[in-house]
Amino acid sequence: MCLVALAIDQSRRFPLVIAANRDEFFKRPAARLAWWAPRPGEPAILGGRDLEGGGTWMGLTAQGRLALVTNHRDPGRIDARAPSRGEIVANWLAAREPIDRFWMRTALSGYNGFNLIAADFRLGECFWASNVAAYPKRLERGLYGLSNAALDTPWPKVEALKASMHSALESAGTVDELATRLFDALADRSVADDAALPKTGVSPDLERLLSSAFIRTPDRAYGTRCSTLVITERAQRHLITHVLERSFSATGGLALLRRSTLRHWPPRYSAQAAPADAELGVVSESELADGDSVPEPTRRTRVRSLLKPQVPRRARGAV
């Protein structure tokens, strides 16, 4: 991904919401949202797939893990021989190890600069990690933004997407309305003022081009390939998660919409027996013209937080 807003426990109605754009060269082959397994015997992943590198930019498993990755923009420190950063997401989703062990192994694997959001909802944990930062940061309830710099770096498009998500969560009454407003925010082509542009080592013209949420280069070789939403809603005492992906061609026209619905996902965290896996939601596809909305509004009620409360350090080990 290249632009992400993430809300955890910011809404009683919608406890988990992710809105993200993936920007990439159109010549790089990729598969759209579907269930697939990286290797035999590993958990199936719901997400798109990089058919060149073999990984994914964003995915989740029925067992309760979720991850997404963005590049950390630093053109002066790119190693063309480095492994694909999409492997990191696939490896987290397949791993059984906790974040600290996973992180030690990943940080030493020679990837170019990256940001990782990694969650294990069975443990009630979510982290941001980057190989340009010292150690992973545990995320608590909140609204976060991420692009091609550190978490919550206030780039104009990051701040704009966070503001749009905050507003939508405050007022949206249905999944339909929330999804439509978030897709509209991800489709924003407004360019930042020159004074607000970040300085990441690319030319000012390219910095300006990359400053909008939705990107398309004049030669149509590079741009926003897909917009993805993850929306969890509360249905009485249960959770239902909708994963929606709008994919775009280099030439424009109708966007393809793929959608999958998972019941009882994310799983509740528990210190006792592991909960059952979520049902593998069927992925359906349709065509949407710009401005079309997403169906299936439903009335919901409240359940508990997705994240396990963190024990204060001085309370640990107390008798």
Residue ranges and CATH numbers for the domains of the chain are 3-293 (3.60.60)
Examine residue 29 and say whether the peptide bond preceding it is cis (omega within 30 degrees of 0): no
DSSP string, 65-94: EEEEEEE---GGG--TTSPPTHHHHHHHHH
Read off the pTM: 0.90
Full 3-state SS string of 223-270: EEEEEEEEEEEEECCEEEEEEEEEECCCCCCCEEEEEEEEECCCCCCC
Q: Provide the pLDDT for residue 253.
A: 77
Q: Provide the pLDDT for residue 302.
A: 41
- Residue ranges, the chain, pLDDT below 70: 271-279, 285-303, 311-319
Q: Provide the pLDDT for residue 314.
A: 52
Q: List phi, psi (to 5°) of 224.
A: -75, 115
**What is the Cα–Cα distance from 299 to 233, expressed in whole angstroms?**
9
Read off the DSSP letter of residue 299.
Answer: -
> What is the CB-side half-sphere exposure of residue 119 using CA atoms within 13 A?
30
pLDDT digits (tens, 9 = 90+) for 265-290: 999 887 554 556 666 777 776 655 54
Mean of pLDDT over the chain: 89
Chain length of the chain: 319
> Is residue 139 a contact partner of residue 90, using CB atoms and an 8 Å limit?
no
pLDDT digits (tens, 9 = 90+) for 167-200: 999 999 999 999 999 999 999 999 999 999 999 9
Q: Provide the pLDDT for residue 311.
A: 62
